[in-house]
Chains A and B, each alone.
Chain A
Amino acid sequence: MRTIAAAHKAFIEKKISPVELTQEYFQTIRNTRTLYGPGCQNPVYLTLCEERALAQAQAAERILTTEGIPANKPLLGIPMGIKDNLVIEGVRTTCASKILDNYIPPYTATAVKRLEEAGAVILGKLNMDEFAMGGSNENSAYGPVKYPLYGDRVPGGSSGGSAVAVKFNLCLAALGSDTGGSIRLPASYCGVVGFKPTYGSVSRYGLVAYASSLDQIGPMAYTVDDTLRILQTIEGPDQLDAMCLPSKTSDSRISMKDLTIGIPQEYFVDGISNEVRQAINEAIGWFATQGAKIKPVSLPHTSLAIAVYYIIAMCEASSNLARFDGVRFGIKPPEFFWDRYVNLAEYYQAVRNLFGAEVKRRIILGTFALSSGYYDAYYDRACRVRRLIQQDFLKAFEEVDVLLSPVAPTTAFKLGEKIQDPLQMYLNDIFTIPVNLAGLPALSVPCGWGSDSLPIGLQIIGQPGDDSRVLGVAQAFEETLAW
């Protein structure tokens, strides 16, 4: 059972009850010791909420018995995983960092609240790169997530736990967050669907901020239809997020003959592996056979996107992570003795020493780029080039409806392959980053396999607010693939 529709059908036909389904998921998670539990080096879940989930499943069962599946509960009884940077009241939230090792939030993120109000059952919190900083899920303080069956491969990051959980049926669907590709990249590497909505579509209230002008919450599921259903549940205005747009995505049937697809020329240069290039070209070819017009477009500032992104992200992160100081947030380090003379600066340092290396590096670089004397050359300049990058896209969209591209230059790489060289890791995000800079909606849908049967994802990029069309195009494509 891999879809919401299938689960609901099974509920109605009394083949399984919501409680039984939830219990099955917990049993699978607990029995797979490589994925969870004390001593596990590569946990997919960091925290499970069994009691809470079973109570939710029981409530779902009561509704099912009396009303069936009501229209206002489209996710009734559906077991979901939540990336560990979204807060849930009373449930440990770590952002995969030692600095939040025992943090219990006093409130629930709007996106999660909306899922629960729609009847979803929250199984637990999923592993990720620490504070969403990373592209391989190797930066987790609790152990890197591995892509099972190919034990030596990364699942992609930073929503690596979410992608693996969906792919290996440890939850029916999950929420991730995407700042520079963190939903789309793991979705591509693991062979599931991942969608980053238009910036502002989903309330960020309750998402632990990494880079506020780039972060967006999005669904990850086995099918495009499920991705849409989850998006419809979580999107929309929220009093608690001033940047939220009145977004309303609908199920669109796309007429291929009326569709003009742009192929960004700068994305198809050397560096893409042959198997990825072939898979993407075949996908583009399929659209052409269906009657869509295919048009090359140019996004001239593409080669600057990584530099722009990392400057802006590091600057915003250095500001956002200043709150983790052991006073507002962050644990008291165990070696800290109250009877020793300290000043506040030493205390801050003792707590902030709990950040991982990548987080430290980004905060230090962000501090540099925002400091007087360098602000103009780095942060201010990056923001101006960001506008040029957005203008590239908007100009291309005057001639085409959507863009197609690879999600990543290769299939999943090996654990340890890039972690020693941060710049190499950053360059992997070349296709996903420009989308966040411009605030556009983009989706990764599986489109083939490389060697070792490693999945390849196709990226569909849309115009601002045109999420319905992006999902519609993905749905039409998905229907052709016997995935």
Chain B
Amino acid sequence: MDLNTDLTRRLAHLARIPVTEAEATLFTQQMADILQYMDRLATVDVQDIEPLIHPFDIESWYREDEAVKSVMPSTEYRAPPILGD
């Protein structure tokens, strides 16, 4: 996988994470090593294998449809003022 600093900067922008020039260069090198290591997965035959997202087969369970106190903190919670008011 060819990871270059341009792609690193673009990905960082997608993730809204600023990177300096030095960081972009350093990360590109480190990430290229990591991705190269991960390329070993390409050799595995996964044709009939379903992806495993959750370790075990569980089903959603439901509670009774009745109004209950929702999860709120014990004290009255108010977002702190931000704009200096």
Interface range, B side: 35 or more
* CB within 8 Å for A213 and B53 given contacts A352-B17, A355-B17, A361-B31: yes
In whole angstroms, what is the CA distance A200 to B61 when docked? 14
The verdict on A477 contacting chain B, using a C-beta distance below 8 Å, is no
Chain A 118-153 interface residues, beta-carbon cutoff 8 Å to B: none
Bitwise, A327-361 to B at CB < 8 A (1) or not (0) is: 00000100000100000010011101101010011
Bitwise, A367-396 to B at CB < 8 A (1) or not (0) is: 110010000011011111111101000000
Residues from chain A with a CB closer than 8 A to the CB of B49 are 384-385, 387-388
Whether B42 and A464, one on each chain, are in contact in the complex, defined by CB atoms closer than 8 angstroms, is no
Residues from chain B with a CB closer than 8 A to the CB of A426 are 34
Contacts A368-B7, A378-B41, A423-B34 aside, 9 further interface pairs with beta carbons under 8 A come to A107-B71, A304-B41, A307-B37, A311-B41, A338-B83, A381-B41, A385-B46, A390-B52, A423-B30
| Interface of A toward B, CB cutoff 8 Å | 89, 106-107, 199-200, 213, 239-240, 242-243, 245, 301, 303-304, 306-308, 310-311, 318, 322, 325, 332, 338, 345, 348-350, 352-353, 355, 357, 360-361, 363-365, 367-368, 371, 377-378, 380-388, 390, 421-423, 426, 437-439, 464
| Contact pick for B51, options A310, A338, A380, CB 8 Å | A380
Whether A352 and B16, one on each chain, are in contact in the complex, defined by CB atoms closer than 8 angstroms, is yes
| Contact pick for B11, options A89, A371, A380, CB 8 Å | A371
28 contacting pairs across A/B (C-beta < 8 A): A200-B56, A239-B63, A243-B54, A245-B56, A304-B44, A306-B37, A307-B40, A307-B41, A311-B41, A349-B16, A349-B18, A352-B16, A360-B17, A365-B34, A378-B38, A383-B52, A384-B50, A386-B52, A387-B51, A388-B46, A388-B49, A421-B30, A422-B30, A423-B30, A423-B34, A423-B37, A439-B55, A439-B56
Residues from chain A with a CB closer than 8 A to the CB of B16 are 325, 345, 348-349, 352
Interface-central residue, A322, A381, A464, by most chain B CB under 10 Å: A381
In whole angstroms, what is the CA distance A479 to B33 when docked? 45
Residues from chain A with a CB closer than 8 A to the CB of B15 are 318, 322, 352, 363-364, 367
